[in-house]
Amino acid sequence: MTLYELNHIVRQVLDEALDDEYWVQGELSDAAAGYGGHFYGELIQKDDKAQTIIARARVNCWARTYNLLRLRFQHETGQTLRAGMQVKLLVRVTFHEQYGYALNIQDIDSTYTLGDMARRRREILLQLEADGILHDNQQLPLPRLLKRIAIVSSATAAGYGDFCNQLVGNEYGLCFQTRLFPAVMQGQHVEESVIAALQQVADEADRWDVVVIIRGGGATGDLSDFDSYPLACCIAQFPIPVITGIGHERDETVLDYVAHTRVKTPTAAAAFLIDHQAQEAAHLDDLQQRINRMAQNRIVLERQRLERFSLTIPLMFDRFRQRAEHRLDMTWQQLTAACQQRTERERHRLEIMAQRFEGLDPALLLRRGYSITRCGGRIVRCADDLREGEELETQLENGTIKSIVVK
């Protein structure tokens, strides 16, 4: 038989044996919308341990069905069908003589994909917590002044423009210093691109107060690119606070759990920075007013104090002068009394000394019968001091006697 005939037999057998629809779960290894709006892809299954492919099948979905399923799936999951996504598909087994075996998609179970996304996010968060780094960036102190802003975003992203415009046009007239560190914010290269941009910021971390990761204008489904352990690990251990504004109101990524501050959108990130600076400016204004009030009150108090002193000092001086005059009077009286007492003591002492001197007067001794003998003008006190033949002079009360030493 011909190949067509054989394939036709296979088709008939499969149609008879597998005429029902089946729910199949697996991973999309390829996914693309082809000509005419049809969807074509490949569904694979991997071994849980070795992670090698153990099953493979081509899948397709015709345009009418695909357009309905695509819109519903995107609304419910916020994602678009893409390679690497775990899906649960309702399929019908088909076999075509020319194109071979394929699974025709009839429906998609959105809850399965949502559960897988949540499971992946939970696994990453558990691993970060086990590593002890989940809250590291959140524990960094937020600087009082958030003026120097490092921005990780795409230069062409609408969110980046909105962010910068809002900072520049803020109603408080605050000034910010910003610099863009370009990165891919959607697609396969998000992880490596954002990590490279963050590394550039980390190399000059002392020049920046905060890092802002923003994304805007992209598809909501691309947010799953930010559910990355290496990227989350980089942000968790980043040396300065990180602010994320990469989603929409109802979206969350792993990065939102590890960043210091999470806001919904780029404009919300700008509003956060403006409000923070405005609060600090208001705090400074309040401090300035308090300082002015305290200074004015202090000036008033010191002026009153000086006025009191100006009234008190003359009184104090008069009191001091009176006390000083009193002390001088007391001292003068004490000195006068002391001088008089000293004079009396010295006069009495002189009288005693005079009496003693009078009692020692040689004239009194001579009057009482004593005499004074001199030899050579010297008073003779011991006979042994004399020699025979020396001339002596003896003074009496009345007159003197001269004699020669005989023996």
When computed from its CA atoms, the radius of gyration of the chain, rounded to whole angstroms, is 59
Which strands make up the sheet holding 210-214, listed edge to edge? 177-182, 148-153, 210-214, 242-245, 261-262
Distance CA 117, CA 44 (A): 18
Q: pTM to 2 decimals?
A: 0.58
Q: How far apart are CA 383 and CA 378, in angstroms?
A: 13
pLDDT tens digits for 251-300?
Answer: 678 898 999 999 988 999 999 999 999 999 999 999 999 999 999 999 99
pLDDT of residue 187: 75
pLDDT of residue 278: 94
What pLDDT sits at residue 234?
96
| H or E element at residue 220 | none
Beta carbons within 8 Å of 278's beta carbon, 6+ residues apart: 170, 172, 174
Grouping H, G, I as helix, E, B as strand and the rest as coil, residue 28 is: strand
- Tell me the mean pLDDT per 10 residues along the chain, length 407: 93 89 91 89 87 90 93 82 87 93 93 78 90 95 94 89 93 94 87 95 96 75 78 96 80 86 92 94 92 95 89 85 91 93 93 84 82 91 91 92 93
Identify the structural domains of the chain with CATH numbers, from first to last. 3-108 (2.40.50.140), 126-279 (3.40.50.2300), 363-404 (no CATH)
What pLDDT is stored for residue 221 in this prediction? 53
Distance CA(76)–CA(342), nearest Å, equals: 121
Residue 404 is predicted with a pLDDT of 95
Query: How long, in residues, is the chain?
Result: 407
The number of helix segments (H) and strand segments (E) in the chain equals: 9, 14
